[in-house]
């Protein structure tokens, strides 16, 4: 092998590495990004230490829907910690969300059926004891989000609706540990009228 062919081989390796890094950067920035669950607020749907894949592409043309699990930057006025949160979308623009004494969540005066919420011994505990506010109106450009484990979740009940511009993307696949791999299902809410 002469010096010229050695330099050509080295150039091809460098070119391949640079191209790989560019593709990785584009995919992670615009298409999908891995995220590690760090809080207990989504138990049993998602456990701490699990990894999910976050879809950043489809929200560019498709709005977030009720029941979507989203990763977002928490409001800067509420925390200095930049670690993203992961919660479920409960209220959409135009909704009035109310959490009543029985712990049930009402959207426009209709109680939600939420089988995904964490229950102790099969009973959902009331979650309103420490709430300063129990009723919110979600405006355009906002989402009302809550954790599935309501007793361990700092969410919109504490810091109010979040801006859609703070949402990183929609979690759609739990992929690690490999034994927990599954598509993250978006529930339906037949008790509510279809969104316009």
Could you tell me the residue ranges of all domains in the chain?
3-183
The secondary structure of 28-93 as a DSSP string is: IIIIEEEEE--SSTTTTTS-TT-EEEEE-SGGGTS---TT-EEEEPPPTTT-S--PPEEEEEEE-T
pLDDT in tens, 77-86: 887 788 899 9
The rounded distance, in Å, linking the Cα atoms of 117 and 43 is: 8
The rounded distance, in Å, linking the Cα atoms of 156 and 18 is: 42
- pLDDT recorded at residue 13: 72
Looking at 5, 56, 87, 130, which residue is catalytic?
Answer: 87
**H or E element that contains 9:** helix 3-26
In this structure, which CATH number among 3.30.420.40, 3.40.50.10860, 2.10.109.10, 3.40.1280.10 belongs to the domain 3-183? 2.10.109.10
The rounded distance, in Å, linking the Cα atoms of 168 and 93 is: 18
pLDDT of 121 higher than 50: no
pTM for the model: 0.82
Query: How many C-beta atoms surround the C-beta of residue 119 within 10 A?
Result: 13
Residue 30: pLDDT band by 50, 70, 90 thresholds? low
pLDDT in tens, 61-119: 789 999 999 999 998 888 778 889 999 999 999 999 999 877 899 999 999 999 999 87
| 3-state class (DSSP) for residue 13 | helix
103 and 124 Cβ atoms separated by less than 8 Å: yes
Check if 87 is active-site.
yes
| 3-state class (DSSP) for residue 109 | coil
Looking at 3, 5, 41, 56, which residue is catalytic?
Answer: 41
Mean of all residue pLDDT scores within the chain = 84
Mean pLDDT of 30-49: 87
Check if 41 is active-site.
yes
């Amino acid at each position: 092998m002469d010096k010229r062919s050695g330099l050509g081989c080295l150039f091809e390796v460098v070119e391949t590495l640079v191209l790989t890094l560019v593709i990785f950067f584009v995919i992670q920035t615009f298409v999908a990004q891995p995220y590690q669950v760090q809080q207990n607020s989504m138990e049993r749907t998602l456990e701490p230490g699990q990894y999910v894949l976050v879809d950043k592409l489809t929200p560019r043309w498709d709005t977030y829907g009720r029941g979507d699990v989203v990763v977002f930057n928490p409001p800067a006025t509420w925390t200095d910690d930049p670690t993203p949160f992961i919660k479920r979308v409960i209220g959409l623009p135009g909704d009035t969300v109310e959490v009543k004494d029985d712990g049930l969540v009402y959207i426009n005066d209709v109680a939600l059926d939420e089988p995904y919420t964490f229950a102790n011994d099969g009973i959902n505990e009331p979650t309103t004891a420490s709430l300063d506010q129990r009723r919110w109106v979600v405006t355009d450009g906002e989402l009302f989000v809550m954790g599935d484990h309501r007793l361990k979740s700092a969410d919109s009940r504490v810091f109010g609706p979040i801006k859609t511009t703070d949402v990183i993307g929609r979690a759609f696949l739990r992929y690690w540990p490999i034994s927990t791999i599954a598509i993250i299902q978006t529930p339906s809410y037949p008790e509510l009228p279809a969104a316009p």
